[in-house]
Amino acid sequence: MEQKKTPAFLNFIDVKTIGILFLMFLIAFIFWNTPLIYPIKLFVVILHEFSHGLVAVITGGQIDRIEIDYRVGGVCYFRGGNAFLSASAGYLGSIFWGGLILILAAKTKYDNIMGMIIGAFLVILSILYVRNMFGFFFTLLFGICLIIISYKASNYVLDLVMKFLGMTSCLYAIIDIKEDLISRTNIGSDADYIAQSLGWQKLSVPIGIIWIFIALLSFCIFLFIAGKNDEKKRN
Protein backbone atom coordinates (compact mmCIF):
# COMPACT_ATOMS: atom_id res chain seq x y z
CA MET A 1 0.00 0.00 0.00
CA GLU A 2 1.41 3.39 -0.99
CA GLN A 3 2.21 5.64 1.93
CA LYS A 4 0.48 8.99 1.93
CA LYS A 5 2.84 11.90 1.45
CA THR A 6 2.71 14.83 3.84
CA PRO A 7 1.61 18.05 2.08
CA ALA A 8 4.69 20.04 1.12
CA PHE A 9 3.74 23.15 3.09
CA LEU A 10 3.64 21.12 6.33
CA ASN A 11 7.36 20.52 5.95
CA PHE A 12 7.95 24.21 6.55
CA ILE A 13 5.73 24.83 9.58
CA ASP A 14 5.68 23.54 13.13
CA VAL A 15 2.06 22.40 13.35
CA LYS A 16 2.15 22.16 17.15
CA THR A 17 3.46 25.71 17.58
CA ILE A 18 0.96 27.11 15.07
CA GLY A 19 -1.85 25.29 16.91
CA ILE A 20 -0.76 26.70 20.27
CA LEU A 21 -0.50 30.23 18.87
CA PHE A 22 -3.94 29.94 17.26
CA LEU A 23 -5.42 28.77 20.58
CA MET A 24 -3.75 31.69 22.35
CA PHE A 25 -5.20 34.05 19.75
CA LEU A 26 -8.70 32.70 20.51
CA ILE A 27 -8.17 33.05 24.26
CA ALA A 28 -6.95 36.63 23.86
CA PHE A 29 -9.91 37.45 21.59
CA ILE A 30 -12.49 35.94 23.95
CA PHE A 31 -11.07 37.51 27.10
CA TRP A 32 -9.88 40.78 25.51
CA ASN A 33 -11.81 43.11 27.84
CA THR A 34 -11.30 41.10 31.02
CA PRO A 35 -8.78 41.26 33.90
CA LEU A 36 -6.83 38.41 32.22
CA ILE A 37 -5.62 40.68 29.40
CA TYR A 38 -5.60 44.00 31.28
CA PRO A 39 -2.08 43.57 32.78
CA ILE A 40 -0.68 42.62 29.37
CA LYS A 41 -2.21 45.77 27.85
CA LEU A 42 -0.44 47.83 30.52
CA PHE A 43 2.76 45.89 29.81
CA VAL A 44 2.48 46.93 26.15
CA VAL A 45 1.98 50.55 27.23
CA ILE A 46 5.25 50.26 29.19
CA LEU A 47 7.02 48.90 26.10
CA HIS A 48 5.50 51.71 24.05
CA GLU A 49 6.70 54.48 26.36
CA PHE A 50 10.11 52.87 26.90
CA SER A 51 10.58 52.70 23.12
CA HIS A 52 10.04 56.46 22.87
CA GLY A 53 12.66 57.04 25.53
CA LEU A 54 15.12 54.49 24.18
CA VAL A 55 15.21 56.07 20.72
CA ALA A 56 15.52 59.51 22.30
CA VAL A 57 18.58 58.28 24.22
CA ILE A 58 20.05 56.57 21.15
CA THR A 59 19.72 59.81 19.16
CA GLY A 60 21.41 61.91 21.84
CA GLY A 61 18.62 62.76 24.28
CA GLN A 62 17.65 61.61 27.75
CA ILE A 63 14.56 60.31 29.54
CA ASP A 64 13.11 62.55 32.23
CA ARG A 65 10.27 60.33 33.42
CA ILE A 66 7.63 57.81 32.33
CA GLU A 67 4.02 57.70 33.52
CA ILE A 68 1.61 54.77 33.13
CA ASP A 69 -2.12 55.39 33.54
CA TYR A 70 -4.59 52.79 34.87
CA ARG A 71 -6.86 53.61 31.90
CA VAL A 72 -4.26 51.90 29.68
CA GLY A 73 -2.37 54.97 28.60
CA GLY A 74 1.00 56.51 29.23
CA VAL A 75 3.49 59.22 28.41
CA CYS A 76 7.26 59.44 28.18
CA TYR A 77 8.89 62.79 28.88
CA PHE A 78 12.30 63.15 27.27
CA ARG A 79 14.70 65.91 26.27
CA GLY A 80 16.82 66.12 23.16
CA GLY A 81 17.31 63.42 20.58
CA ASN A 82 15.54 63.14 17.26
CA ALA A 83 11.92 64.10 17.92
CA PHE A 84 10.58 62.50 14.72
CA LEU A 85 12.24 59.13 15.32
CA SER A 86 11.40 59.16 19.03
CA ALA A 87 7.73 59.88 18.36
CA SER A 88 7.61 57.11 15.72
CA ALA A 89 9.20 54.56 18.05
CA GLY A 90 6.26 54.01 20.41
CA TYR A 91 3.83 51.90 18.37
CA LEU A 92 6.46 50.22 16.23
CA GLY A 93 8.71 49.61 19.23
CA SER A 94 5.97 47.91 21.25
CA ILE A 95 5.13 45.47 18.45
CA PHE A 96 8.85 44.83 17.90
CA TRP A 97 9.37 43.87 21.56
CA GLY A 98 6.24 41.71 21.56
CA GLY A 99 7.41 39.94 18.39
CA LEU A 100 10.89 39.44 19.82
CA ILE A 101 9.44 37.82 22.94
CA LEU A 102 7.26 35.55 20.77
CA ILE A 103 10.16 34.46 18.54
CA LEU A 104 12.57 33.83 21.43
CA ALA A 105 9.91 31.81 23.25
CA ALA A 106 9.22 29.72 20.14
CA LYS A 107 12.85 29.24 19.06
CA THR A 108 14.82 28.88 22.30
CA LYS A 109 14.61 26.88 25.50
CA TYR A 110 15.60 29.74 27.79
CA ASP A 111 12.10 30.95 28.67
CA ASN A 112 12.82 31.05 32.41
CA ILE A 113 15.90 33.20 31.85
CA MET A 114 14.01 35.46 29.46
CA GLY A 115 11.20 35.88 31.98
CA MET A 116 13.64 36.84 34.71
CA ILE A 117 15.43 39.30 32.41
CA ILE A 118 12.13 40.99 31.44
CA GLY A 119 11.08 41.05 35.09
CA ALA A 120 14.38 42.59 36.17
CA PHE A 121 14.12 45.15 33.36
CA LEU A 122 10.68 46.22 34.62
CA VAL A 123 11.91 46.54 38.20
CA ILE A 124 14.87 48.68 37.12
CA LEU A 125 12.67 50.78 34.80
CA SER A 126 10.19 51.45 37.60
CA ILE A 127 12.95 52.61 39.95
CA LEU A 128 14.80 54.76 37.43
CA TYR A 129 12.06 56.36 35.38
CA VAL A 130 8.43 55.62 36.31
CA ARG A 131 7.27 58.54 38.42
CA ASN A 132 3.50 58.32 38.94
CA MET A 133 2.23 56.14 41.79
CA PHE A 134 0.06 53.71 39.80
CA GLY A 135 2.67 53.28 37.09
CA PHE A 136 5.48 52.74 39.59
CA PHE A 137 3.70 50.07 41.61
CA PHE A 138 2.25 48.26 38.60
CA THR A 139 5.58 48.14 36.76
CA LEU A 140 7.44 47.09 39.92
CA LEU A 141 4.93 44.39 40.93
CA PHE A 142 4.53 43.04 37.40
CA GLY A 143 8.30 42.70 37.18
CA ILE A 144 8.58 41.01 40.59
CA CYS A 145 5.74 38.59 39.76
CA LEU A 146 7.39 37.72 36.46
CA ILE A 147 10.69 37.02 38.20
CA ILE A 148 9.00 34.78 40.78
CA ILE A 149 6.99 32.88 38.16
CA SER A 150 10.10 32.47 36.00
CA TYR A 151 12.06 31.10 38.95
CA LYS A 152 9.36 28.75 40.27
CA ALA A 153 7.58 27.46 37.16
CA SER A 154 8.84 24.83 34.77
CA ASN A 155 10.35 25.88 31.46
CA TYR A 156 7.33 24.39 29.66
CA VAL A 157 4.93 26.60 31.61
CA LEU A 158 7.14 29.65 31.02
CA ASP A 159 7.26 28.82 27.31
CA LEU A 160 3.46 29.13 27.19
CA VAL A 161 3.49 32.29 29.32
CA MET A 162 6.10 33.99 27.13
CA LYS A 163 4.33 32.99 23.90
CA PHE A 164 1.04 34.33 25.23
CA LEU A 165 2.72 37.53 26.42
CA GLY A 166 4.41 38.05 23.05
CA MET A 167 1.33 37.17 20.99
CA THR A 168 -1.02 39.39 22.99
CA SER A 169 1.49 42.24 23.03
CA CYS A 170 1.59 42.20 19.22
CA LEU A 171 -2.20 42.10 18.97
CA TYR A 172 -2.69 44.97 21.37
CA ALA A 173 -0.04 47.09 19.65
CA ILE A 174 -1.90 46.68 16.34
CA ILE A 175 -5.30 47.44 17.92
CA ASP A 176 -3.81 50.42 19.75
CA ILE A 177 -2.57 51.90 16.47
CA LYS A 178 -6.00 51.43 14.86
CA GLU A 179 -7.92 52.98 17.77
CA ASP A 180 -5.60 55.96 18.21
CA LEU A 181 -4.81 56.78 14.61
CA ILE A 182 -7.60 55.46 12.40
CA SER A 183 -10.72 55.25 14.59
CA ARG A 184 -9.59 58.53 16.20
CA THR A 185 -10.53 57.59 19.77
CA ASN A 186 -7.46 59.38 21.09
CA ILE A 187 -6.74 62.77 19.54
CA GLY A 188 -3.28 63.93 20.52
CA SER A 189 -1.49 60.69 19.65
CA ASP A 190 2.08 60.23 18.42
CA ALA A 191 0.95 60.61 14.79
CA ASP A 192 -0.78 63.87 15.65
CA TYR A 193 2.46 65.13 17.17
CA ILE A 194 4.42 64.19 14.05
CA ALA A 195 1.79 65.75 11.76
CA GLN A 196 1.93 68.98 13.76
CA SER A 197 5.73 69.04 13.59
CA LEU A 198 5.48 68.65 9.79
CA GLY A 199 2.98 71.50 9.63
CA TRP A 200 0.02 69.52 8.27
CA GLN A 201 -2.42 68.04 10.80
CA LYS A 202 -4.24 65.92 8.21
CA LEU A 203 -1.12 63.79 7.80
CA SER A 204 -1.83 62.02 11.10
CA VAL A 205 -4.27 59.50 9.57
CA PRO A 206 -2.01 58.56 6.62
CA ILE A 207 0.84 58.15 9.11
CA GLY A 208 -1.41 55.84 11.15
CA ILE A 209 -2.27 53.78 8.08
CA ILE A 210 1.42 53.39 7.24
CA TRP A 211 2.20 52.35 10.82
CA ILE A 212 -0.62 49.80 10.98
CA PHE A 213 0.53 48.33 7.63
CA ILE A 214 4.07 47.99 9.01
CA ALA A 215 2.69 46.53 12.25
CA LEU A 216 0.54 43.93 10.45
CA LEU A 217 3.40 42.98 8.14
CA SER A 218 5.75 42.67 11.12
CA PHE A 219 3.22 40.52 12.99
CA CYS A 220 2.90 38.15 10.01
CA ILE A 221 6.69 37.90 9.82
CA PHE A 222 6.93 37.20 13.55
CA LEU A 223 4.30 34.45 13.27
CA PHE A 224 6.06 32.94 10.27
CA ILE A 225 9.40 32.85 12.08
CA ALA A 226 7.83 31.49 15.28
CA GLY A 227 5.91 28.77 13.40
CA LYS A 228 8.65 27.81 10.94
CA ASN A 229 9.88 24.26 11.21
CA ASP A 230 13.64 24.29 11.77
CA GLU A 231 13.98 20.56 11.14
CA LYS A 232 13.89 19.52 7.49
CA LYS A 233 11.48 16.63 6.92
CA ARG A 234 11.99 14.06 4.27
CA ASN A 235 9.42 11.47 3.18
The low-confidence residues of the chain, meaning pLDDT below 50, are 1, 232-235
pLDDT for position 92: 87
- 3-class DSSP assignment, residue 64: strand
Task: Count other Cβ atoms within 10 Å, centred on residue 119.
Answer: 20
What pLDDT does 114 receive? Answer: 96
According to DSSP, the residues that pair with 89 across neighbouring strands are none
| pLDDT score, position 232 | 44
Coil/strand/helix, residue 69: strand
* pLDDT tens sequence across 195-212: 777 777 777 778 878 888
Quick one: pLDDT at residue 87? 86
> What does DSSP assign to residue 235?
-
> Other CB atoms closer than 10 Å to residue 120's CB: what's the count?
15
For residue 79, what pLDDT is reported?
93
User: How far apart are the C-alpha atoms of 155 and 132, rounded to whole Å?
Assistant: 34
Residue 83's pLDDT is: 87
- Alpha helix ranges (H) inside 31-154: 38-58, 83-107, 111-128, 133-152
For 203, which DSSP code?
A: G
